[in-house]
Amino acid sequence: MTIPDRNALLDRIVRWEEARARGQAPTPEEFCADAPGLLEAFRRQVEKLGQVAWLDEPIVDPTTSPGPAAVVTTGSDLPRTMADRYRLDALIGEGGFGRVFRGFDTWLERPVAVKVPRVDRPVTGAEVDQCRVEARKVARLRHPGIVPVYDVGREGPTCFIVSEWIDGEDLARRLRIDRPSYRETARIVAEVAEALHHAHERGFIHRDIKPSNILLDAAFRAYLTDFGIAVAEAYLLEDVDAAGTLPYMAPEQLGGGLVDRRADLYALGVVLYELLTGRGPFRDSDPVALREQIVGGEPPPPRSIEAGVPEGLERACLRCLAKGPEDRYLSADRLAADLRNFLLALNSIGGG
């Protein structure tokens, strides 16, 4: 199956699942009427997902009801296979919501990344629901700079999400080894900003932009991953819950203000600051003190830490880090445009 066919198939599966969630009863024939060549593959995928009925069933919370054993406890029992298809080969990262494994799709014979909710404690129904929500959201975001979702499934009391394997490293690891050049920094942040703009325009914000959620492939191209706590922007008009990672959280996330796409721009500004200076704009080992700095303090200008930082990159960084959302960039594509213009100017004078 070609990549366009696979993308068309995924689109139909997502729309079919959404129709069922609305109480409709679509048939595979209806969803493949304009592409009969996809019908058999569509039927097979629907069957593999258990007729996607598990997406609509009430969730049984394993903390109160007996159920099968958890799927993965540690990385020490690898490799193992999930859903008779995805082999988990190595644990490569973990966060508050889940663990990410380097895996292998034994059907299509390709490497994949597999995300599984944390199971060093009982998996709650709410976490399984979040797994579903993440898959639905990310499957709608089609952009070269956003890691695409391939599949979502369920095994035992938990679910898993399968996405493209990016052969490379995350930006956090790269920063521990060596900071990119100013040219590379501008390009990386511009690529992430362009991916963010795509998500923002479709009603989603990320709320956890940080170096470990930015992947770099072998060609050093940047990809944004982990929309695990991304939410529809409309819901944030009432939801000001401070989800995210403290050093990258915008003042309004900590102060009870309205959280919108400009919070992502603030977080990306923190990432840019780290790329330019090798440190964060605010630093304190005490979370309470760090929170106070983010809400009320002003970051030292990057050029006061690294004299060689280009003025254009400093201006873009400090604009992202403005305390008031109204003083930041209005949209991520405007940040990307400034960074692209910086690169054009740099190319014209042959700078590095």
Q: Which amino acid is at 171?
A: L
Token couple for 272: 């840019």
Q: Which of 151, 170, 208, 338 is catalytic?
A: 208
Q: Is 115 annotated as a binding residue?
A: yes
Token couple for 223: 């990809």
CA distance 208 to 268: 10
Burial class of residue 253 in the structure, from the number of CB atoms within 10 Å of its CB (0-12 exposed, 13-18 middle, 19+ buried): buried
Rounded (5°) CA angle 97-98-104: 155
The separation between the first and the last C-alpha atoms of the chain, rounded to the nearest angstrom, is: 43
Backbone conformation region of residue 350, classed left if phi is above 0, alpha if psi is from -120 to 50, else beta: left
H helix intervals, 150-214? 171-177, 182-201
- Is 208 in the active site? yes
Cα–Cα distances in angstroms (integers) from residue 1 to residues 9, 46, 103, 160, 340, in the given order:
10, 17, 21, 23, 36
CA distance 277 to 343: 19
How far out from the chain centre does Cα 238 lie?
22
Q: Which residues are annotated as a binding site for ATP?
A: 115
For the annotated catalytic residues, the residue numbers are: 208
